């Protein structure tokens, strides 16, 4: 059965908008687990725009599921991951100016560097995943480099409609077959929401879906009325 990894970066985005202590992603990871999350994902970016070092170390101590650390393949992040020892590391491309991760990793131009990098993490008993576009070439390189798993980028699928979306879904399905034949664990994510998730979740051998934005957006929709009601009650109950 396909499982759910909840990405809580947006909780930290709200906190960092005021550089204060709330909302605390650690508390929200607990709530996500109560809701049934099978793992918690955070992206520790080089610029620390949302998740902070303090968050990842506290999450490691407090969550009861699995911790998936998304990070760029840099020496700084390697040192942090080896200290933190998350259950999984997902390597993602990172550009300073992007709003969110825009594309999959380009494995082809970094084979030797990534081989050493992945080997180093696996030496600390961390399972390593590659965030890649659903392309045959990228899957073959994932195997060659030594990744345990892949996360197929569903951003394009999420943006497309109609027949174009069906074709992209087909590429994701074929990528899943190939990766499964090669013995890789297959995850997927980016842009998945309450309307488009079912077809991806139904793919054979789809292990886990990583979802953030739509879940946090839904949390605001289902929670705002109550939070306003509580504030109104404090103001009017003198």
Which residues are identified as catalytic? 43, 70, 190
Identify which of residues 26 and 105 has a Cβ nearer to ligand PXP in the complex.
105
CA pair distance 150, 175, nearest whole angstrom = 10
Identify which of residues 86 and 189 has a Cβ nearer to ligand PXP in the complex.
189
CA pair distance 62, 59, nearest whole angstrom = 5
**Token pair 């687990």: residue:** 33
Residues 67-126 that bind ligand PXP (CB under 6 A): 70, 90, 92, 100-101
Structural Rg of the chain based on CA atoms: 18
Tell me the window of 15-23, 57-65, 164-172, 209-217 that interacts with ligand PXP (CB under 6 A): 209-217
Return the structure tokens found at 174: 């074929």
Task: Based on the shown chain and the rule CB under 6 A, indicate whether residue 43 belongs to the binding site for ligand PXP.
Answer: yes
Least distance CB 10 / ligand PXP (angstroms)? 7
Residues 151-190 that bind ligand PXP (CB under 6 A): 151, 189-190
Q: Which residues pair with 211 in a beta bridge?
A: 6
The per-residue DSSP string of 102-151 comes to -S----GGGHHHHHHHHHHHHTTT-EEEEEE-S-HHHHHHHHHHT-SEEE
Least distance CB 230 / ligand PXP (angstroms)? 28
Least distance CB 212 / ligand PXP (angstroms)? 3
Give, as one character, the DSSP assignment of residue 7.
Answer: E
What Å distances lie between residue 58 and 29, 43, 51, CA to CA?
A: 11, 14, 11
At CA 80, angle to CA 75 and CA 81, rounded to 5?
95
Identify which of residues 26 and 92 has a Cβ nearer to ligand PXP in the complex.
92
Least distance CB 120 / ligand PXP (angstroms)? 20
What Å distances lie between residue 54 and 57, 80, 110, 150, 182, CA to CA?
A: 5, 11, 30, 27, 37
Task: Based on the shown chain and the rule CB under 6 A, indicate whether residue 51 belongs to the binding site for ligand PXP.
Answer: no
Q: Which of 72, 191, 196, 206 binds ligand PXP (CB under 6 A)?
A: 191
Identify which of residues 43 and 80 has a Cβ nearer to ligand PXP in the complex.
43
Task: Based on the shown chain and the rule CB under 6 A, indicate whether residue 192 belongs to the binding site for ligand PXP.
Answer: yes
Residues engaged in binding ligand PXP (CB under 6 A) = 7, 9, 43, 70, 90, 92, 100-101, 131, 151, 189-192, 210-214
């Amino acid at each position: 059965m396909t499982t759910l990894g909840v990405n809580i970066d947006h909780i930290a985005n709200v906190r960092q908008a005021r550089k204060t202590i709330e909302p605390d992603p650690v508390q929200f990871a607990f709530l996500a687990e109560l809701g049934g999350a099978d793992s918690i994902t955070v992206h520790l970016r080089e610029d620390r725009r949302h998740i902070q070092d303090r968050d990842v170390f506290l999450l490691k101590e407090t969550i009861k599921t699995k911790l998936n650390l998304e990070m760029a393949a840099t020496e700084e992040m390697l040192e942090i991951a080896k200290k933190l020892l998350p259950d999984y590391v997902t390597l993602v491309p990172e550009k300073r100016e992007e709003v969110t991760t825009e594309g999959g990793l380009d494995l082809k131009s970094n084979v030797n560097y990534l081989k050493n990098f992945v080997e180093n993490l696996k030496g600390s008993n961390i399972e390593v995943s590659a965030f890649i576009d659903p392309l045959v070439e990228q899957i073959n390189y994932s195997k060659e480099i030594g990744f345990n798993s892949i996360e197929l980028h569903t951003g394009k699928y999420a943006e497309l409609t109609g027949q174009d979306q069906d074709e992209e879904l087909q590429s994701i399905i074929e990528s899943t077959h190939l990766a499964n034949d090669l013995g890789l664990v297959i995850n997927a994510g980016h842009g998945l929401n309450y309307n488009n998730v079912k077809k991806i979740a139904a793919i054979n051998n789809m292990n886990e879906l990583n979802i953030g934005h739509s879940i946090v957006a839904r949390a605001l929709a289902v929670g705002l009325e109550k939070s306003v009601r509580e504030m109104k009650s404090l103001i009017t109950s003198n």
